[in-house]
Amino acid sequence: MNLFRALYISTRVWLLLIAFVLLFILAYVFPVLFPFVKLLLAVFVALLLLDGVLLFRNRTERAAFFARRELPDRLSNGDENPVSIYLENRYPFQTPVEVIDEIPFQFQKRDVLFAATLKPNETQTVRYDLRPTKRGEYSFGAVNVFVMTPLRFLKRRYAFSQNKLVAVFPSFLQMRQYELLAISNRLTEVGIKKVRRIGHSMEFEQVRAYSRGDDVRTINWKATARQSDLMVNAFRDERSQAIYCLIDKGRVMKSPFEGLSLLDYAINASLVLSNIALLKQDRAGLLTFSDQIGQLVSAERRPGHLQKILEVLYRQKTRFLESDYEALYTNIRRHIRQRSLLLLFTNFETVNALRRQLPYLRRMAKEHLLIVVFFENTELKSLLANPANTTEEIYQKTIAEKFYYEKKLIVKELQQYGIQAILTAPQNLTADTVNKYLELKARGMI
């Protein structure tokens, strides 16, 4: 029974059978062709039997052919994740193969098919990328390999690497990219600006020899007298400051952009920012909320803290309800006693929506340094960039301009009350957020 389940007939066989039917019809009209057609049919049947013997003479699957799917233990949400399929031909002849990988249904792809030809005892690796757009568990099916002989009449199906479960986490690949660039001082390559320091930090680091360009006001005259050479006091960025990412999980964060929801963009940016803050010797924390308060991770800087933030972010889901900013303010006042940098990831579409929550934002801004991060509607920008040719398009463009102008008014309204604001496109969220954090840190505002 297993033999018949693994046996498949190629398209070439069906085409040849159709050709034989036509030849037999032709031989009925011209009887002289009948012996030649029978001879061709006998040869075809013999080759078909030979093809089956060559394919199925090895009863154990591993003795004839081997394949293995190689992928990470976890996938990065919103990024291209590499997947490879290792193929090993153990037949004594050249084998054309077709590889069908059963990827998780979340990708909605049914064309993951690859063709290859392997020589005897040859190995090959097929590589492709998968871009998940939702966090959670993804179930991979089997790697189906259809092996043929050079005749290509029959196919033998092999199934490998079945039922592989992989978790999709927030974008740790993006986090590693920013981490490596931050360590090597190459953050400008991803849009992070260099901010000129205003004044200097009051956190003393060391006394060192004077070099050209140092501020003469930092000269340490006592050390200079002892060393008989100019010595200056060196300062460093203030450390151990609390940085909190406040993530709105309400209905306004469900809007999609390039497959990812605004919530997922906020989660990815929060993970990157938390890692950058820890690299800058600050303490990173997290608070999620919607109609009720979600999870709170206190701002700390200890081994394993970033992994704790990653696991909390992995479990977050949209609740599709209106967010309760009063409960957010109450919770912040109860649990965050030290003055901290609060980055609120949310989305306001109109000024009226902002004004309903503005009293709570103003109270938070009195006790902490608050930055409200919300999103541009990129579809509106593309609509405004196109000329209007019909009356309907003129109406659409007018309405789009109104909503686009509302976003600008929201920024001005927040700035009027001393609240920092970031209006950004979803794809620029991470770079703009890290830029703002580094700018505030350079200015000593945290």
- Asked whether the predicted pLDDT for residue 219 surpasses 80, the reply is no
116 CB neighbour count, 10 Å cutoff: 17
- Asked whether the predicted pLDDT for residue 436 surpasses 70, the reply is yes
Instruction: For residue 61, name the pLDDT band (cuts at 50, 70, 90).
Output: low
Same domain (yes/no): 225, 257 = no
- Asked whether the predicted pLDDT for residue 28 surpasses 70, the reply is yes
Same domain (yes/no): 289, 318 = yes
Q: Exposure of 199 by Cβ count < 10 A (0-12 exposed, 13-18 middle, 19+ buried)? A: exposed
Residue range of the domain that includes 335? 172-196+238-442
Query: Of 236, 258, 287, which residue constitutes the final position of a domain?
Result: 236
Predicted pLDDT at 420: 92
State what percent of residues in the chain have pLDDT above 90.
Answer: 49
Edge-first strand order for the sheet with 65-70 is 65-70, 81-89, 123-130
- State how far the Cα of 253 lies from the Cα of 260, in Å rounded to an integer: 10
Number of domains present in the structure of the chain: 3
Predicted pLDDT at 1: 47
Same domain (yes/no): 232, 275 = no
Tokens standing for 147? Answer: 């092996």
> Helix, strand or coil for residue 153?
coil
Residue whose C-alpha is closest to residue 77's, from 267, 257, 312, 273 = 267
Predicted pLDDT at 62: 57
Same domain (yes/no): 323, 438 = yes
- State how far the Cα of 219 lies from the Cα of 223, in Å rounded to an integer: 9
- Asked whether the predicted pLDDT for residue 391 surpasses 90, the reply is no
Predicted pLDDT at 289: 94
Query: Of 127, 154, 169, which residue constitutes the final position of a domain?
Result: 169
Specify the residue for token string 């200079």. Answer: 224
- Asked whether the predicted pLDDT for residue 329 surpasses 60, the reply is yes
Same domain (yes/no): 326, 214 = no
Same domain (yes/no): 70, 163 = yes
- State how far the Cα of 354 lies from the Cα of 252, in Å rounded to an integer: 12
Same domain (yes/no): 142, 281 = no
CATH number of the CATH domain containing 103: 2.60.40.10
Tokens standing for 186? Answer: 């190459």
Sign for the CA dihedral angle at 411, 413, 416, 419 comes to negative
Alpha helices (runs of H) in 243-319, residue ranges in sequence order: 262-279, 305-314
Backbone angles phi, psi at 174, to 5 degrees: -65, -40
CATH number of the CATH domain containing 308: 3.40.50.410
Q: How far is CA 429 from CA 245, 262, 315, 345, in A?
A: 13, 10, 21, 10
Predicted pLDDT at 365: 93
Predicted pLDDT at 20: 92
Query: Of 213, 236, 259, which residue constitutes the final position of a domain?
Result: 236
Same domain (yes/no): 231, 246 = no
341 CB neighbour count, 10 Å cutoff: 25
Answer for the pair 223, 231: CB distance below 8 angstroms, yes or no.
yes
Count, residues in the chain: 446
- State how far the Cα of 178 lies from the Cα of 192, in Å rounded to an integer: 10
The H helix count followed by the E strand count for the chain is 13, 21
Same domain (yes/no): 96, 160 = yes
Predicted pLDDT at 167: 92
Same domain (yes/no): 84, 176 = no
Same domain (yes/no): 268, 320 = yes
Average pLDDT over residues 175-201: 60
Q: Which residue has the higher pLDDT, 63 or 34?
A: 34
Specify the residue for token string 């006042």. Answer: 333
Q: Which residue has the higher pLDDT, 32 or 238?
A: 32
Same domain (yes/no): 347, 432 = yes
Q: pLDDT tens digits, residue range 266-307?
A: 999 999 999 999 988 889 999 999 999 999 999 998 889 999
